[in-house]
Amino acid sequence: MIIQLNPPIWVQTPKGEGDALLIIDYGVHYNTVWVVHLFEDGQVLHFDSSDIRAMGNAMYGIPHPRPAFAPDRAYETPDHPL
């Protein structure tokens, strides 16, 4: 099963921060695979679910991190403030 995340989820991976675009579930005998677009260089890579950390949650007051190179408020939208 493939699930498209809309909106994407901001995640931390072993290769840096990025947006998780898809989740691929191969079944109960395999870890879920996350397809992530990396902020730093634009690569789209697959990561095992044990390598992914979700970043921030506005509902619980956990702030979203900003990549070091991003200008202030670059990722802010009216429904998703930083």
User: Domain-by-domain residue ranges, the chain?
Assistant: 2-60
DSSP 8-state secondary structure symbol assigned to residue 49: G
Check whether 68 has a pLDDT greater than 90: no
Q: Identify the pLDDT of residue 70.
A: 47
Q: How far is CA 12 from CA 27, 36, 78, in A?
A: 24, 10, 23
Report which listed range, 42-46, 48-52, 58-62, is most confident.
42-46
pTM of the model: 0.68
Residue type, 77: T
2-60: CATH architecture: Roll (2.30)
